[in-house]
Every structure is written in structure tokens, then in C-alpha cells.
């Protein structure tokens, strides 16, 4: 069985862009509109010796009680349940939001292997700008730029082991 990686995070942090990087396809819907990709979406990828499945998800609203948000939360919970490792994507430029805290709390309670990924970090140094993400209590913050392909190989090493 190939390991399964789930991409989780609030809308617009760059999950679908990262999905495309990890799978080398452009099947996921990438848009400037928050929350457009509402369904789970599967792809396959390979880095070094690792072959893996990636699940892209729509946005995440753990406490929403109805409509599309409830469906999105359900889809994301299912993706997390199916995953061997979760990549929790946050936005290095926007900073930490209440929604990030909700998702972080959910993932921490779950206790599944989780890598905290600060996307849109091109041109940033790991330092002051990323420090606030440690508040999530999920350990190390790993900066990447999905759009520029920076840190993506290393991300797979972190998630799945040496390439
Ligand atoms: P999703 O809603 O989490 O799936 O986010 P998308 O992948 O649709 O991306 C949302 C927006 O962020 C798009 O405008 C992307 O072009 C942009 N984006 C994604 N990755 C990066 C990145 O590494 N750097 C920057 N600056 N923008 C990015
Ligand atoms: Mg998306």
C-alpha cells in the first residue's frame, strides 16, 4: 500500500497548489476564490523512492453546523481518517487565524502524524514571521512555497522519511 498524505487547512492557503506540486498534475481546482475546491480529490505522486497518494480537500470549518461548510468538514475528517500522515497547511503571509486554531486543536486531539506547513513562504526566513505558528502546539513549522516549488522535496522527506 502506498502511504496516503492528506492536505488539510482553511481555504486559500494553497492546498491545491501544493497538491499539484506533489502529484505533478493540475487536476485539483486552483482558484483565487476561497473554498472553491469542496470535494476530496485524489492524486498520485513520487519523490525519490517514495510513491504516495495525496488527498486534496476543500476548506475546513470544524464547528459549522450546516450546508456546504458541514460537508467540507466531513470530507476533511474522512480524508484525515484515510491518511497515514497529515500536512496541515497554513498561510505564512496571512499569519495565524481562528480557523487555524480550530483545525490545529482538532488535529492535536487526533494524535495522527502531522507536519505543520507554512506555505507562501518564498523569500521569507524561518524566524519572526513564522514564530506565531508554534502557538498551535504542533511542533516544528516547516516553510514551503508551493507556487515556486520550494521545500517540497524536503516536505516529503519529513512526512515519509529519507528519499
Ligand atoms: P486552497 O484553497 O488551499 O486549495 O488554495 P489554492 O491552492 O487554491 O491557492 C490559493 C491562492 O494562493 C491562489 O491564488 C494561489 O496562486 C496562491 N498560492 C498558492 N501557493 C502559493 C505560494 O507558495 N506563494 C504565493 N505567494 N501564493 C500561493
Ligand atoms: Mg483548493
ipTM over 0.95: yes
Report the domain count for the chain.
Answer: 1
Please, how many CA atoms are within 13 Å of residue 116, restricted to the half-sphere of its CB?
Answer: 21
What CATH number does the domain containing 108 carry? 3.40.50.300
Task: Report the pLDDT value the prediction gives residue 91, as an integer from 0 to 100.
Answer: 97
**Long-range contacts (CB closer than 8 Å, 24 or more residues apart) made by 129-135:** 129/92, 130/92, 132/95, 132/96, 133/90, 133/96, 135/96, 135/101
- Helices in the chain by DSSP H: which ranges? 15-23, 67-82, 98-110, 128-131, 152-160
Torsion of Cα atoms, 100 then 4 then 81 then 99, to 10°: 10
Q: For ligand 1, is residue 20 a contact (CB within 6 Å)?
A: no
Q: For ligand 1, is residue 12 a contact (CB within 6 Å)?
A: yes
Q: What is the CA(17)–ligand 1 centre distance, in A?
A: 6
- Each residue of 63-115: pLDDT tens digit? 555 555 666 677 788 889 889 999 999 999 999 999 899 899 999 999 899 99
The bound ligand whose nearest atom lies closest to the alpha carbon of 124 is 1
Whole-number percent of the chain with pLDDT over 70:
81
**Residue owning the nearest CA to atom 6 of ligand 1:** 14
Cα dihedral across residues 130, 155, 61, 103: positive or negative: negative
Task: Report the pLDDT value the prediction gives residue 68, as an integer from 0 to 100.
Answer: 57
Q: Which domain holds residue 90?
A: 4-160
Task: Report the pLDDT value the prediction gives residue 35, as an integer from 0 to 100.
Answer: 44
Task: Report the pLDDT value the prediction gives residue 34, as an integer from 0 to 100.
Answer: 47
Task: Report the pLDDT value the prediction gives residue 77, as an integer from 0 to 100.
Answer: 86
> Residue 41 pLDDT more than 80?
no
Q: How far apart are CA 138 and CA 61, in angstroms?
A: 19
127 contacts: CB under 8 Å, gap ≥ 6: none
- Each residue of 115-153: pLDDT tens digit? 999 999 998 876 788 999 999 999 999 999 999 999 999
pLDDT confidence bin for 25, thresholds 50/70/90: low
Amino acid at each position: 500500500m502506498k502511504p496516503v498524505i492528506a492536505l488539510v487547512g482553511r481555504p486559500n492557503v494553497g492546498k491545491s497548489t501544493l497538491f499539484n506540486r506533489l502529484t505533478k498534475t493540475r487536476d485539483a481546482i486552483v482558484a483565487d476564490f476561497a473554498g472553491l475546491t469542496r470535494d476530496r480529490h485524489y492524486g498520485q505522486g513520487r519523490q525519490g523512492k517514495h510513491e504516495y497518494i495525496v488527498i486534496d480537500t476543500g476548506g475546513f470549518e470544524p464547528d459549522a453546523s450546516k450546508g456546504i461548510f458541514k460537508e467540507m468538514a466531513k470530507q476533511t475528517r474522512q480524508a484525515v481518517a484515510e491518511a497515514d500522515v497529515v500536512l496541515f497547511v497554513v498561510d505564512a503571509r496571512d499569519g495565524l487565524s481562528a480557523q487555524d486554531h480550530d483545525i490545529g486543536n482538532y488535529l492535536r486531539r487526533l494524535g495522527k502524524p502531522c507536519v505543520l506547513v507554512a506555505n507562501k513562504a518564498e523569500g521569507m526566513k524561518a524566524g519572526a514571521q513564522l514564530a506565531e505558528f508554534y502557538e498551535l502546539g504542533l511542533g516544528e513549522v516547516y516553510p514551503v512555497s508551493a507556487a515556486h516549488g520550494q521545500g517540497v522535496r524536503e516536505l516529503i522527506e519529513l512526512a515519509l522519511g529519507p528519499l
